[in-house]
Structure 1
């Protein structure tokens, strides 16, 4: 059976990673969470104090990019690969609202995107990969055989994200999560380098009122049809 490249783009908190993991597991493909890569760089920038609420020392971050080593290590117990930053498992820390507040700004830096896109393209050289992010179908894999664009209303996405953070024990307010979702939407869609947009040929999936089972079955059907075409 032939292998294809599946590119999943979309707004924050649309469940891109969840569906990508499910799809990769079902098809026995490699899954790559590009958002985790940008989050790890953001965490590094926060730790180095290159970015905070008032300042962003872009030049300092760019000059330090060669010292950022990103690796995915598969966790058999969890069933997916976790992000390691310079040898440290940072999977939990990169999912915090603190990192979410700054990741879109870091991801908008052209030099950061250039470095990570090179790594992502190398990961997908042999196909058989499911990759999700903001510019997978437009920049990383414009020739992907299957492109999806995930969307949902900001309010629905904020509720999902809020519940997820609360379940993890984070002390957050819904209003702050909604504001974060809206701010990230604006930055992701308006940045000069690789803005978030629906790729040519991508299939839009609005899951505002769609259950996880219905969504998975629909997307798996699309994948199988593409593989067998």
Structure 2
């Protein structure tokens, strides 16, 4: 890879794109950015300051202060932060600020794997590889429940499922940068795939593109 190489991974919550992105970034030795953490950072800032989530001006200010090098997953992964993030993510001004930061990240050598909701359609429309990772809502809810239980927590499957469906509706229904596959994205349905199978399927897609490019 002699040029800046970009892999864009999009998909709904719980489809497995984050884990897949980490595996691919490690395998191809690329930088990694979970763009969802940037929106969570904005939401976390508002929650920490006790500001309402519909305060667009405060959200935009928080977005400008987001430092991609200091995103703390352990703090930003809280469920309440995720819920709040999907609310501030609907503001076009917040998205513009964060998209610019994300694009700058993608330009840094040797390249990057970015995962989110609008990478292939908005952030990196010229990405070398675009993957749209999805799974049924029920499977995604089961995975989330297993994740919570694995760390000693408890949760109700039906509540998790309802939450996932609400987030899907918000993500797919927003006017600015709705969640949808890019026209040239490779669809990867992980409903019946373990992470290793999904990783191998994604690698096959990427290696095929690289092989064709090297022959050109």
TM-score over 0.5 (shorter chain): yes
How many Å separate the matches in 2 of 1:65 and 1:120?
A: 12
Q: CA deviation at 1:107?
A: 0.9
SS of the residue 1:187 aligns to: helix
Q: CA deviation at 1:180?
A: 1.4
Q: CA deviation at 1:168?
A: 2.9
More strand by share: 1
Q: Which one of 62, 67, 72 corresponds to residue 70 of structure 1?
A: 67
Identify the residue that residue 57 of structure 2 maps to in structure 1. Answer: 59
Q: Cα gap change, 1:170/1:112 in structure 2, threshold over 3 Å: closer, same or farther?
A: farther
Q: Gapped runs of 5+ residues in structure 2?
A: none
Correspondence 1:160-179 to 2 at 5 A:
160-179=143-162
The answer to whether the 8 Å contact 1:12/1:181 transfers is yes
Give per-residue Cα distances to partners, 1:13-38, cap 9 Å, x unaligned.
11111001000101111111101111
Q: Cα gap change, 1:60/1:120 in structure 2, threshold over 3 Å: closer, same or farther?
A: closer
TM-score by length of structure 1 reads 0.85
Give per-residue Cα distances to partners, 1:172-199, cap 9 Å, x unaligned.
3222221211111000001011000110
How many Å separate the matches in 1 of 2:208 and 2:191?
A: 24
Identify the residue that residue 122 of structure 1 maps to in structure 2. Answer: 104
The answer to whether the 8 Å contact 1:100/1:180 transfers is no
Identify the residue that residue 26 of structure 2 maps to in structure 1. Answer: 25
How many Å separate the matches in 1 of 2:150 and 2:115?
A: 24
Q: CA deviation at 1:57?
A: 2.4
More helix by share: 2
Q: CA deviation at 1:91?
A: 1.7
How many Å separate the matches in 1 of 2:163 and 2:118?
A: 20
